[in-house]
Structure 1
Amino acid sequence: MGTNVEETIEESRLRENAPCLLSKRWLLAYIAFISFMFVYGVRTDISVAIVCMVIDNKTASTANISDPTCVANANASQGYDRAEFHWNKGEQSGLLSAFYYGYIFAQIPAGWLAGRFGGKYVLGVGWTIAAIATLLTPVGARESIYIVYALRVIVGFFSGVSYPAMQSMWGRWAPPMERSKLISLTFSGSFVGNILTFVISGYLCAEGFDNGWGSIFYVIGAANLLWVIVWFIFVSDSPSDHSSITDEEREYIVKSIGDTTKRVTSTPWREIATSRPLYVCVLSHVCFNWLLYTIMAEVPTFLKKVLLFDVKSNGLLSSAPFMAMAVTSLGGGQVADFLRTHYLSTKVTRRGAQALAFFGASGCLLGTGFVTCSNRYVGVILLCVAVGFMGLCNSGFMVNVVDFAPRYAGVLFGISNLFATIPGMTAPLAVGAFTPNDTQEEWQTVFYICTGFGLVGALVFTFFSEFEVQPWARENVELDLHDMGMDDNPKKMKNGDATKSGVQNEGFVENGTT
């Protein structure tokens, strides 16, 4: 097995000499993984909590159910008796969407602030405020539904800094041939966060304090606050800022990426606005989020209303798809970087992972719509496989902005995530509109729409994505040949010559490839 042509011999030597699993870049990945677990807790806690908060005036009809098991399940699914609120279907959909009305406005500012000032404090402050708003939710709910709307918008805005600011940090920390592994590990925390949130929320709904549902917000909010302390103590904005990083690791990262001490002081907005690779990422991201947000927000309702699971089972089974997603995301990142290092180009690897993710998820979601209560565990399996396929997106479009413009990864992902937040605002409303009676036929329409988004995303990314560093994403840094030991005369070189000489500049030219 040889070294991939995208990695120079010098970079390969530095990578082999630098520490790996116990290194500071991997420590950042471990801490970020857990951080994303918690940030997704405050994001999705209401999806299960709302099932326990709202008094269900509709008793599941058993008149047209012939299967005795389904009749028993329908009766069991009505058993929760600690709900407090008479919120109608539209109000519930509005609460599930409110998060994204704040989330959407955080994307570009978060990426810009992280690029200019560093991501550590942007993330830490954002997560702190989101945790406090989560802790206040039970009190607000008992005062007015409008206070809950406002708190969910606040949680959304301050959680919304997460992805753009983290992408900006990885633009300074992730060597090119380790990007898939490090970024996939980081964002896999969100899937594990979904798992734990659904499981814990289902248990707390039935057994917790403060009428069950209230304890969900207290437990998750407090855990977030405690973890932010760990983040501030152990995380640095860049390798050059880290006080205890080894010289070998710092040299490896800086030679692979460039000088990470300098902040981005200007942004090529015109070039960004006309960038085709960015448009491809945006469309792929929108399609992915329609599927993901529909599943995150609405699966507990689908399991209760159509497949007739009780509240305890609901929380556990709602988490099962994200267990599969965590596995495929982590495993996919390892496999993707292995293939890129030894066998395949970045282009083939990314496109293959993304196509498999979208096509696989679309097929499984289409089948889910035809599952009935009689074979309801088949529905759970199909959901698990569908969301498992979606985990491969972390080796596809999710890391693509770091491929073609790592210097501006934070602001680019902020732009992409801004548009991709629209499904979070509209998908719950659309599901509410299409499922007024929560019949199986109505839910089939929901899964048809998901399938359509998946197919469009697969085709667009497969045929139009790009991976080489874009010209506008490089910075023309002048280098003194005398300082480089190449000439006694102080001549200057531009980007291209420096790259040919094996010197990486601040433009983050991946592996010397332009």
Structure 2
Amino acid sequence: MAEKCVVPDNEGVPVLTSKRWILAYVAIVGFFFLYCVRTNISVAIVCMVKTQQMNITTAGNLTQENLADVTQSCTIEESKGFDTAEFDWDKSIQSAILSSFFYGYLLLQIPGGWLAVRFGGKRVIGYMFVVNALTTLLVPVCARVDYRLVMALRILLGISSSVTYPAMQSMWGLWAPPLERSRLASFTYSGSLIGNIFAFSASGLLCEYGFDNGWGSIFYIIGIGTFLWACLWMLVVADSPSKHPTISKQERRYIIDSIGDKDDEVRSTPWKKLFLCRANWTCLTAHFCNNWMHYTLMTSLPTFMKAVLKFDIKTNGVLSAVPYIAMVVLSIAGGQLADWLIKNYFSTRFVRRSFQSVSFLCSAACLVGVGFVTCENRYVAVALLTTAVGLEGLVNSGYMVNTIDFAPRYAGLLFGINNTISTIPGMLAPLVAGALTPNDTPEEWRNVFYVCAGLISLGALVFGCTAQTDLEPWARAANSEVTVAPPTPAKKLPEEHGVEPTSKEASVICSERL
């Protein structure tokens, strides 16, 4: 058995009031708004577009009896018609609008990570959030002119949003000590889940009761909030511990010594090694498969709730948010549990593989089950969807933080590479879901869930068998003080004698349990 991880002396270093956690507190709100601006249209479009009739001409595989079952098999919740619905957009236009965000989202993933490495994540994220705010505020005006202007705004929103995850990964590569990575990352990224919750539930209510025909208020409120957050971000955070004006000397030393790297040197980028890294290809596979499920549900769940489960818009919005509440809880709790297990019992590699496999395999089983639930048992479907999406929260302790394990200096760039390729599901998933469900029948939606379940099962197999966490040689800084202890079980470290490491033990001594 290998040695336990030893970190530098953290005596006198604050935790919940520390600058690294203040960064996490501000960042979680940022990711809240990041997902509000990208998912608000998924609910808004339900009350923007006039209800359309089933496409009987394309229902060649449905008998008259089956059509009757589709329309009369269960009690449909009463819902007032949307007199405020203004647009006659057909299914293809709606799918195009929902997927257009991801065309822009492809463009700045890798440049965003590179810019954060070179110039710091603070300005990269802050300036782009101003663009996020403006593109959101303009949606109601442009929608009333031409739907293609909405698509253009969504593409621009995708471009400005694409830098956020790579830049944040780059910042955590400089701010997150090894034994706090799961906690800090999962806490920060759970903001995106809270954003989903708000976008789904609040948007449904605003459709009914908001100003500017209801749906318009969704974009105005979220756009203003996004702009105000960008101002807060620029005032509060710093690119790295060494650049923070008010951080304590103890915390600065603790973070830098834990990571074993200096952030103020100009570095060349080992592009070839980044693209050929096998550990990163494993992360990429998991990332791609997870995004297919994530984006399918994020863009199509309100439509499924309305068309198959027959929920009215208010109930639809609230129940579409419920799965993401479970995801927030499991994301934050999973991060705490993962770091505790790594510190006390298991290797980082075992924990990463286990969390990811449990997340994927259990979610796949739930999605298959959803496809067989009828609208008479609609709340069973909600429970299964809640479990499937909730378990997705464990990925923040799996592939999401894995790049920081094996290449913390280049975590932003690696995430940018992965997220660029993994944005393809964002473009394709809404189109595939729309193509598979021309009549929105339960049988058609079953195929959508089969595709998601199959892909995440593949991701579980690949990541569960091949994920790595050892620091890559090319990712180690020339001045790094990180050392690896020889695997001698008889050796006793200071903490095993009940003595805290001294400040002279400033290097991180970590080796995997076999």
TM-score calculated relative to the size of structure 2? 0.90
Q: Distance in 2 between matches of 1:16 and 1:340?
A: 21
**Aligned counterpart, 1:469:** 471
Q: Secondary structure at the match of 1:19?
A: coil
Alignment of 1:50 with 2:52, yes or no, is no
**Aligned counterpart, 1:335:** 337
Counterparts in 2 of 1:103-252, with a 5 A limit?
A: 103-252=105-254
Q: Distance in 2 between matches of 1:7 and 1:63?
A: 62
**Aligned counterpart, 1:444:** 446
Deviation at residue 474 of structure 1 after TM alignment = 1.2
**Aligned counterpart, 2:431:** 429
Deviates more, 1:61-70 or 1:205-214: 61-70
Deviation at residue 503 of structure 1 after TM alignment = 5.7
Which of 296, 309, 312 is matched with 1:310 structurally?
Answer: 312
Deviation at residue 475 of structure 1 after TM alignment = 2.5
Q: Secondary structure at the match of 2:107?
A: helix
Deviates more, 1:252-261 or 1:351-360: 252-261
Deviation at residue 80 of structure 1 after TM alignment = 2.1
Bigger RCO (CA 8 Å, 6+ sep): 2
Which of 19, 22, 45 is matched with 1:24 structurally?
Answer: 19
CA deviation profile, 1:99-150 (whole Å, cap 9, x unmatched): 0000111100000000111000000011110110100011011111111010
AA partner of residue 380 (structure 1)? V
**Aligned counterpart, 2:382:** 380
**Aligned counterpart, 2:3:** 5
Q: Distance in 1 between matches of 2:373 and 2:407?
A: 43
Deviation at residue 512 of structure 1 after TM alignment = 5.3
Q: Secondary structure at the match of 1:200?
A: helix
**Aligned counterpart, 1:64:** 68
AA partner of residue 30 (structure 1)? Y
AA partner of residue 3 (structure 2)? V
AA partner of residue 303 (structure 1)? M
Q: Secondary structure at the match of 1:57?
A: coil
Q: Aligned residues, how many?
A: 481
Q: Distance in 1 between matches of 2:402 and 2:127?
A: 27
AA partner of residue 195 (structure 1)? I
**Aligned counterpart, 1:34:** 29
Deviation at residue 258 of structure 1 after TM alignment = 2.9
Q: Secondary structure at the match of 1:309?
A: coil
For the structure 1 residues 77 and 450, does the alpha-carbon distance in structure 2 shift closer, same or farther, using more than 3 Å as the test? Answer: farther
Answer yes or no: is the 8 Å Cα contact 2:2–2:511 preserved in 1.
no
Deviation at residue 82 of structure 1 after TM alignment = 1.1
Deviation at residue 261 of structure 1 after TM alignment = 3.6
**Aligned counterpart, 2:276:** 274
**Aligned counterpart, 2:356:** 354
What runs of 5+ residues in structure 2 fail to find an aligned partner? 57-65, 482-503
AA partner of residue 54 (structure 1)? V
Q: Secondary structure at the match of 2:106?
A: helix
Deviation at residue 184 of structure 1 after TM alignment = 0.4
**Aligned counterpart, 1:389:** 391
AA partner of residue 241 (structure 2)? P
What runs of 5+ residues in structure 1 fail to find an aligned partner? 480-500, 505-509
Output the aligned Cα RMSD: 2.1
AA partner of residue 27 (structure 2)? A
Deviation at residue 79 of structure 1 after TM alignment = 2.3
Deviation at residue 243 of structure 1 after TM alignment = 1.2
Q: Distance in 1 between matches of 2:212 and 2:18?
A: 43
CA deviation profile, 1:411-456 (whole Å, cap 9, x unmatched): 0000010011000000000001000000000000000001101100
**Aligned counterpart, 2:459:** 457
Identity %: 52
CA deviation profile, 1:375-421 (whole Å, cap 9, x unmatched): 00111110000011110000000000000000000000000100110
Q: Distance in 2 between matches of 1:115 and 1:66?
A: 54
AA partner of residue 64 (structure 1)? A
